[in-house]
Amino acid sequence: MLKEKVEKLAAKVFEENNSLFLISLEVNSANHIKIVLDGDQGVSVNDCIMVSRAIEHNLDREEEDFSLEVTSAGVSEPLSMPRQYKKNIGRRLKVKTENEKFEADLVSADDDEIKLSWKAREPKPVGKGKVTVQKEAVLPYTDIVEAKVKITF
């Protein structure tokens, strides 16, 4: 009951502010509501406050007591949906599949797959030594076990 109310209120907020989107919404047995959101241009503290108020002001504490936590997806959190990949085009990702690990630049992302690009040192085709080559991989989301944005300082 509470979760359905919160889901409807959240859907309305994200409809009105379509640069924001929901990553997860959980309501535990103690009525602690936790909402994690992300945005195409990032998420500000004011965005979290706005979402929190839109939900809190439309729930009746007399009906059901609750606590509410609204946070943004952290930089250490794995990417979980195509929209997150799309907003991170041009950034470096660490991507794990069942069999491989990549650290590469995210070149493109659509609703089905991502394209990664990186430089690698490989033995020369003829002679001794190594040569730097540009490599690419196209990965469907279904093959990705985990992907995180690599933060560089």
Please state, rounded to an integer, the average pLDDT across all residues of the chain. Answer: 93
Nearest to 93 by CA among 146, 42, 40: 146
Residue range 4-33: average pLDDT? 94
AA letter at 62: E
The fold adopted by the segment(s) 2-72 is GMP Synthetase; Chain A, domain 3 (3.30.300)
For residue 151, is pLDDT > 90? no
Specify the pLDDT at position 27: 94
CA end-to-end span of the chain:
45
Check if CATH label 2.30.30 holds for domain 82-149: yes
pLDDT tens by residue, 96-115:
999 999 999 999 999 999 99
Q: Which residues pair with 105 in a beta bridge?
A: 92, 117
pLDDT tens by residue, 56-69:
999 988 888 999 99
For residue 90, is pLDDT > 90? yes
Check if the beta carbon of residue 35 is closer than 8 Å to that of residue 70.
Answer: yes
Specify the pLDDT at position 43: 93
110: left (phi over 0), alpha (psi -120 to 50) or beta: beta
What tokens were used for 97? Answer: 């599949």
What tokens were used for 52? Answer: 């929190």
For residue 82, is pLDDT > 90? yes
Check if the beta carbon of residue 114 is closer than 8 Å to that of residue 141.
Answer: yes
Tokens 């379509």 sit at which residue? 18
Check if the beta carbon of residue 137 is closer than 8 Å to that of residue 116.
Answer: yes
Domain boundaries, the chain: 2-72, 82-149
